[in-house]
Structure 1
C-alpha cells in the first residue's frame, strides 16, 4: 500500500484503503466529541452548532472523496474541537459576551411582539413549541422564555398549575430511578443488592408472573413506584 497516497489522498485508492480511512476518521470524530463533552452533544449554544455542522461536513467530504487529505481532515477535526472547548470555557466565564441571552416572549400573559420579531419567531412556531410542552392555552401561561439553545421555557399561572401532594397535605412520594434487575437472561447482582433485595424476593416476583427461569426474561426492571416490569 502506498502510505503517502493513503494519508494525502489519491484517485487510485482501493476500496479497502477507503474503508480504513473512514474508520480512522470515525475514531477521530469520536475522540473529538468526547473531548468536547456533553455540551457539544446537546448543542447548547451557537458555536456548538457551528462546530457540529462543520465537523459533519468535513467528515462527509473526507469519507466520500478519495483524493482528499486524511491528515488535514484529522487536524481540522481536532482544531475544531479545541476551538469549541476554548469558546465553551469563555462561555462559562462570560456567558453574556460569548453566547446569546434568554429572550422573554411573554410576560404577565402579554406576548412581547418586538422580541418575537427580533428572534424571528412566528405565532405558529410559538404555538407548536407550546404544544410540545403540554401548554395548549395561552390564557393559562404567565411567562414564555426563548432559551439561547432555541427551546422555550413555560411558566404557567398559579391557578393553571396542578395540585401538588404538599398542597393536598399528603405525605411525600418516594422518588427513585427505575433499576434493571435482569437483562438478556442475566440477573444484575450489583443492582439487586444496591436496593437491598435478594434472589428470593426476585424469584417470588417472577413466580407471580408465571415465570420460573430468569433466563427466559429479556428485561426485568423495578420501577419507581415499586412495579416490576418484565419483558420476555
Structure 2
C-alpha cells in the first residue's frame, strides 16, 4: 500500500535541496562556459545544462531515489530558476552578459590567423580550415574575419565584403 503522505512530504530539508541544486548548476555552468565553449555546438550551454540536470533530478524523483516527489520538484525548480535568473541578468546588465554569454572570439583578421586567440580556445589550424571549407572558402587570405561565437559556432566574413557566412545562415536559405 502506498504511503501517500510520505510521497508528498520532503525527506530532505528544502534549503539543502536549494543549496545543492545551486552549487551543482553554477559549478557546471562555469566549467562548461570556460572549458567547453566550442564543444557546445548549436545547443547553448545553458540549454544543455538545464536538460541534463532536469533529467537527472526528475529521474531521481521518479525512481524513488528520493522518497518524496516534492524533493525532485524543488530541485527541478531550482535548476530552472537559475537558468532563468542568469538569462535575465545577462539581458539587463551588460557586465553580466559578458560573463554569462562571452563575446565572440576573433580567430582571423584580414586573412591573418590570430594564433594566440586560437590557443586560448584550443582551436587547431586544421579545425579552422575545416570550418572555412564547410563555408566554401579554400584560402584564409580570402577572409576578412572569422569569429568563434559564444555557442561554439564559427562565423566567417569573406574579404570580398559579401554577407557573413555561417551554418545558421545557410540553413535559413535552404
Q: TM-score if structure 2 supplies the norm length? A: 0.60
Separation in 2, partners of 1:72, 1:131: 50
User: How many pairs are equivalent?
Assistant: 128
Kept in 2: contact 1:106–1:144 (CA 8 A): yes
**Aligned counterpart, 1:29:** none
The aligned residue for residue 81 of structure 1 is 80
Match of 1:152 in 2: 154
Relative contact order, CA 8 A, sep 6+: which one is greater?
2
What residue number does 2:90 align with? 91
Q: What is the Cα deviation at residue 96 of structure 1?
A: 1.7
Cα offset, 1:83, TM superposition: 1.5
Measure how far apart 1:6 and its partner are: 4.1
- From the superposition, tell whether residues 43 and 87 of structure 1 become closer, same or farther in structure 2 (CA, over 3 Å): farther
- Give the equivalent residue in structure 2 for 1:50: 49
Deviations for 1:144-173, whole angstroms, at most 9, x for unmatched residues?
A: 0011111110001218x59xxxxxxxxxxx
Q: Would the alpha carbon gap of residues 128 and 74 (structure 1) be closer, same or farther in structure 2, given more than 3 Å must change?
A: farther
Q: 1:108 aligns with which of 104, 110, 120?
A: 110
Please, what TM-score do these two structures have when normalized by structure 1?
0.47
Tell whether the 8 Å contact from 1:144 to 1:155 is kept in structure 2 after alignment.
yes
Q: For residues 133 and 87 of structure 1, what CA distance do their matches in structure 2 show?
A: 33
Matches of 2:52 and 2:9, distance apart in 1:
23
Structure (1 or 2) with the greater helix fraction: 2
Query: How far, CA to CA, are the matches of 1:91 and 1:118 in structure 2?
Result: 23
C-alpha spacing 1:97/1:73, structure 2 compared with 1 (3 Å): same
Structure 2's unaligned 5+ residue stretches are 11-41, 164-171
Point out 4+ residue stretches in structure 1 off by more than 6 angstroms. Answer: none
Q: 1:130, CA displacement in angstroms?
A: 2.9
Q: Name the counterpart of 1:122.
A: 124
Please, what is the CA RMSD of the aligned residues? 2.9
